[in-house]
Amino acid sequence: LNATLLPQELKKHGYDTHIVGKWHLGFCKWEYTPTYRGFDSYHGYYTGAEDYYTHVCPYSFRAAQDIPAGEDKEEDVDLKALGYDFRNDTLVDRTAAGSYSAFVFAEHVESLLSTRDPATPLFLYLPFQSVHAPLQVPQNYSDLYSHVQDRHRRTYLGMVTALDDAVGRIVASLKSTGHYNNSVIVFTTDNSG
Domains and CATH numbers, the chain: 6-69+77-177 (3.40.720.10)
pLDDT tens digits along 103-130: 999 999 999 999 999 999 999 999 999 9
Q: pLDDT grade, residue 193 (50/70/90)?
A: low
Which of 5-9, 18-22, 72-76, 140-144 has the weakest average pLDDT?
Answer: 72-76
Say what the pLDDT of residue 190 is.
Answer: 73
Share of the chain above pLDDT 70, in %: 87
Does the pLDDT of residue 71 top 50, yes or no? no
Alpha-helical runs (H) found in 12-116:
101-114
Measure the CA dihedral 140/144/149/152, to 10°.
Answer: -50
Going by pLDDT thresholds of 50, 70 and 90, the confidence category of residue 48 is confident
Reply yes or no on whether the pLDDT at 72 is more than 60.
no
Note the pLDDT of residue 40.
97
Go through the chain and tell me how many residues it has. Answer: 193
Percent of the chain with pLDDT over 90: 76
- Per-residue pLDDT at 76 exceeds 50: no
Contacts of 89 (CB under 8 A, 6+ apart): 35, 41, 42, 43
Query: pLDDT value at position 60?
Result: 55
pTM above 0.75, yes or no: yes
Residue 59 has pLDDT above 70, yes or no: no
pLDDT confidence of residue 21: 96
pLDDT recorded at residue 166? 98
HSE of 150, CA atoms in CB hemisphere, 13 A: 6
CB of 21 closer than 8 Å to CB of 126:
yes
Model confidence over 7-38: pLDDT tens digits? 999 999 999 999 999 998 889 999 999 999 99
